[in-house]
Structures are given as C-alpha cells and as structure tokens.
Chain A
Amino acid sequence: MSEPDDPRWLDDVAGELRREVPVRPAWRARLLDEVARTPTPSLRDDIDDTFDHRDERAGDRGRRRWSISVGPVGSLAAASMLIALGAGATYVAMSRFGANTRAGAGRTAVTAASPQLASSAPASTEREVVRFELAAPRASHVALVGSFNEWNPVATPLARDPASGKWVVSLRLPPGRHVYAFVVDGDVTADPSAPRAADEDFGSANSVVFVSSPRT
C-alpha cells in the first residue's frame, strides 16, 4: 500500500475498505424467512416505519406515494400534466414554458391520497406524468420501450382506452430527453407524431419525448 504522503494513498485505502464482505448464508436465510412471514407490500400500505420518528430526516416525512401504473390506466385519471402523443394529437411540452396544453391551466401536483402522508411543504418531485398514446385498432398487444425502462418490452404494456379506442399508458418521467418506441404485436415502430431520434443503429427509428424540469 502506498505511503500516506503518496497522492494515491486514498485510492489504496478506499480500495482496501471496499473489499467484498461476504454475506453469511445463515444470515441471508434468516432474512428471507422473515420476509416470507411479512405481509407483501402493496401500493395501499399505510405503514411508515421506514424511519424512526426520532431519527428520521426532514423531507422524507409525508412523501408522496409512487403512482406509476403498469396496467389499466383508469387509476391515473387524476394525473396532472398530460403530453398527448399519437396520430392526430397535438404534441406539446410541459406548460411551464408557456405552450398550450390539453390539460389547460397550470400544473397540479400528484398529491398523496392518505392524510397520514400529508407533509407541511409539498415535496417537489421532479418527475412529470407523461401520457403515451397510439392508434392501433388491429393490434392485440402494444408495449412501450425506451431509455426510461431499459428497453424492456415487458415492463410497460399499454392498455386500450375504452373511450377513444387508443392504446395508452402514463408514466412518471424525470426531466430531460427520452428516446422510445412502441412495440406493436412484436413490431417496433416510432411514434408517428413525436419528434424522431436520428440514429437508426439497429434498423428502425425511435421517437423522442422531452420532459421539462420545474423551474424553482
């Protein structure tokens, strides 16, 4: 190991401290047993013993529940800012920058359902709800793939909106530029009314969605 006066000493120290600490199989077994005995967590849980009241940190209290819905879209009816994509719909960005939006005035935060979660100051999550739509009347299965879900074709299926007949899904995405495509019955297709990403490294074009960040 290099001497403390050697500028690399920190690298060596860190490297040494970073040595793998093996997990004891007995410990692992005990944990998984305990997990098996614990009720499966679900989005409706009200338990908040993540942090002791005494040693919790400000900002964690009263966090909004995570509300990504992978499945029927009905539960997201209350979602705030919509980006409408798909044939015929107007493609717009987030309203903060003054563009027209289908959602109309202002941006309403996705608020917590349970009063136990209410916090004194609303935590400003940076993610915005983005709605993806595709008109594909003869399709039997449509999914969304992109940079936000590791291009995983089973992570984000769309569901048919009974009202419009379109395939839809809403996701909360962080600010920035995201590249994506639809998978329609196994075929990859770009979003017809979204900006295109230029590269076709793998044979077909992708689309781009831009989520603006809330300005503080």
Chain B
Amino acid sequence: MSVRLLALVVAFAASAATAGAQEVDRTLPSQLSAPTRATLERLIDSARVAGLPVDPLYSKVREGVFRAADDERVLAAVRRLTRDLGDARSALGDGAGAEEIAAGANALRAGLQPGDLSRLRESRGRRDDHPLTVALVVLADLATRGVPPAMATASVNELVARDVSDGSLLSFRQNVERDLVSGRSPASALDARTRAMIDDRKP
C-alpha cells in the first residue's frame, strides 16, 4: 500500500506540466526489457514531478525502439534529454511552455549555452504571448550546420527583439542555409540575412 501511496502522491503532484502537449502514447514499448521499462518509468516520473514535459521523453523512447537501439542507449538518451529539459526550463523560466522547453533542450544539445537561452528570453521582453519555440528551432538548426552558437544567437536575438513572425524566422533560417551551402561564411550569411529581414520590416 505504501508504494501505491507514493505513486499516488507523485501522480497528484504532477498536474499541469504537460498541459497543451500533444497526445503521446504513454505506455513503454514491450520491446524493451522489464528492468529497462521500470527504470524509464522512474526517470520519467522524476521528470514529471519536477514539472518537466514528459511527452518528449516518451517520444525519445519510441524513437529509440524504432531505431533498434539497445536498452542502454535508450536509457542514456532519456537521461540526457531529461537533463537538457531541466536546464532549458531553468534558462527559459517558469513561464516557459512545454514546446519551448523541448525546443530549448534541443538547442542546448546543439551547442547553445543556457545563457544564450536566457538572453533570447530577455530579447523577447514582455511579449510572452509569442513563444520562443520557433526561435529555438532555428537556433538549434543553425548550430547543427556549423554556425557558431554565439553568432547565431546574436542574430536571432535581434529578430526576436523586433517581434519577427515565426514564418519569417523560418524563412530566415532557410535563406541562411542556402547561403552556407553555396559557400558563404556563417558570419557573412547571418549578417546579410539579418539585415535583409530588418530592412524588409522598415516602413
């Protein structure tokens, strides 16, 4: 009964952490061994109690199974993601939504620092009705393509400070990618595309 009580307390404590999240299958695949599933349940429960979004964790497990990763690798990936989610949440603040935190975790994984995420948040200022999810997606992408994170952050911060739309941010990313592919240096590509976007918005 006491184990069950503990499980209940955990369940009651974790209320709104996943509000607004997509519907994700929260059962663990039977392809994983029972001990692995038990460990994962504990890990995910801890994350849930800490108020972190758990859908990305379940999704990570499913991805691992799909890719025929062994149990150890799946566990390592979930542990790592949990850590990144926690760091992202700290950097983005308590008001951050599940999507922002997930995108933030990915940005950290790409090589951004928590400080970069905090600065992004500051650039947004009081406009917290506009989530930073897309800005973070763009940052993660640029970092994976070899753009130095600090440089990418500086550019995206400028755009976020000007409340550029999500669609424009994604166009910006695509343009920078094209420039990189055609041989332009990251600094030059960012500079040109950031300026172009800002100039476009001038009346």
B residues sitting closer than 8 Å to A (CB atoms) are 1, 4-5, 8-9, 12, 20-25, 55-56, 59-60, 62-67, 69, 73, 76-77, 80-81, 98-99, 102-103, 106-107, 109-111, 133-134, 137-138, 140-141, 143-145, 165-168, 170-171, 173-174
Contact = CB atoms under 8 A, between A and B. Distances in A.
Top 9 A-B pairs, shortest CB-CB distance: A99-B167, A198-B110, A151-B66, A97-B165, A201-B77, A195-B141, A202-B67, A93-B167, A11-B8
Contacts of A117: none
A196 B168 contact: no
Does more than half of chain A's interface fall in helix, strand or loop, or is it mixed?
A: loop
Interface string A184-200: 00001000010111110
A171 to B, nearest CB: 12
A176 interface: yes
A95 B141 CA distance: 21
B9 A8 contact: yes
A201 B22 contact: no
Given A150-B62, A198-B107, A98 B170 contact: no
A115 interface: no
A210 B77 contact: no
B166 A176 contact: no
A114 interface: no
27 contacts: A10-B12, A11-B8, A11-B12, A12-B5, A15-B1, A91-B170, A92-B167, A92-B171, A97-B166, A97-B168, A99-B165, A99-B168, A147-B63, A148-B22, A150-B62, A151-B62, A151-B67, A177-B102, A179-B63, A196-B144, A199-B77, A199-B106, A201-B64, A201-B73, A201-B77, A206-B63, A212-B167
A26 B104 CA distance: 52
Contacts of B4: 15
Contact of A198 (B5, B20, B109): B109
Contacts of B173: 195
Interface in A12-35: 12, 14-15
A76 interface: no
A82 B77 CA distance: 33
A92 B140 contact: no
B5 A202 contact: no
B1 to A, nearest CB: 8
A90 interface: yes
Contact of A8 (B5, B25, B110, B165): B5
A15 B145 contact: no
Given A99-B165, A145-B66, 20 more contacts: A94-B167, A95-B167, A98-B167, A147-B55, A148-B22, A150-B59, A151-B66, A176-B22, A176-B98, A177-B102, A179-B59, A188-B67, A196-B141, A197-B140, A198-B110, A198-B111, A201-B81, A202-B64, A210-B133, A210-B166
